[in-house]
Structure 1
Amino acid sequence: MKPRPAAGQARPRTGARVAAVQALFQAEQTGESPEAVLEQFLRHRIGAAPGEQGFEDGRVEEADTALFARVVRAAATRPEDLDQVIASHLAAGWAMGRLDPVLRAILRAAGAELRDMGGPPARVVIKEYMDIAHGFFGGEEPRFCNGVLDAMARSLRAEEFHKG
């Protein structure tokens, strides 16, 4: 699973979020704990490697490792609650299991960041994860992702959307 690399300068915070999505995807697909996958990423998949370029072979060349770890750990905290938050913003009849696994990982990482971390404004979080969604998908998935993320942000961070 690797996104199309973004053009332009390195963005360590975006790299952290891409790595978090990849780690959550890997943990779900392999059944490994998110903490074990986090450690693997920190040792082997984040940072420049001789002869490697950017996201090749799942490598994230530049990433804010502290943000990466916070997002993965936040998603691993109360994962059933997080999935319930996400599922409550899906259309009627849609279950989490029906989502593409990469899309599920994007929603989990973004949802964890919106739910648990404070941090940047919700609109910034949405934009970052939308950039990631566009890196992985070329069809309707980014639009679907945007709708779910916007609804989640308005629910989890309502105060940001009701400023006078």
Structure 2
Amino acid sequence: MKPSERRKARRLATQAIYQWQMTQDNVASIAEQFALEQETKGVDMDYFRDLLFGVSVHANELDSVFSSYLSRPLAELDMVDKAVLRLACYELTRREDVPYRVVINEAIELAKAFAAEDSHKFVNGVLDKVVKQLKK
């Protein structure tokens, strides 16, 4: 598996998770829609599906992993930031094959690509605290 295929899967999954958060549509329908309508060449689609379905199934658990490190209530968190943090926490807690440094770097890049201007700093700070807690 090439890192670039997983990177593209994360980008697509972030967008799909965001759509799911906004619409609460069926996750399987969103996955199918993305597979048909988005550019999937060079995307690890199995990884994309794992991230999307994993985040949707474990959303409340994932929120509890990072919510205590937020500077505001979870309900006030920007939806893109929430999608990125949920995806990263899914990888940190469920994908032991991915080093935590890779997870954090990828989350920062996703925040730079999709979120508000300084969101990557916020995401980095939250995930640093999550990693320290998980390593205990």
TM-score by length of 1: 0.74
Structure-2 separation of matches of 1:138 and 1:79: 22
The match for 1:23 is: 16
Residue 150 (structure 1) aligned to one of 105, 113, 128: 128
Looking at structure 2, the residues matched to 77 and 116 of structure 1 have their Cα atoms a distance apart, in angstroms, of 12
Query: Considering only CA atoms, is the larger Rg found in Structure 1 or Structure 2?
Result: 1
Partner of 2:66: 86
Higher helix share: 2
Q: How many residues align?
A: 134
From 83, 103, 119, the equivalent of 1:105 is 83
What is the CA–CA distance in structure 2 between the aligned matches of 1:139 and 1:130, rounded to whole Å?
Answer: 11
**Percent of counterpart pairs with the same letter?**
31
Structure 2 gaps of 5+ residues are none
Aligned partners of 1:40, 1:99: CA distance in 2, in Å?
Answer: 26
Unaligned runs of 5+ in 1: 1-9, 48-60, 160-164
Whether the 8 Å CA contact 2:6–2:47 is kept in 1: the answer is: yes
Distance 1:88 1:36 in 2: 32
Cross-structure match for 2:26: 33
Which TM-score applies when normalising by structure 2? 0.88
How far apart, CA to CA, are the structure 2 residues paired with 1:137 and 1:150? 18
Q: RMSD between aligned alpha carbons?
A: 1.8
Map of 2:101 onto structure 1: 123
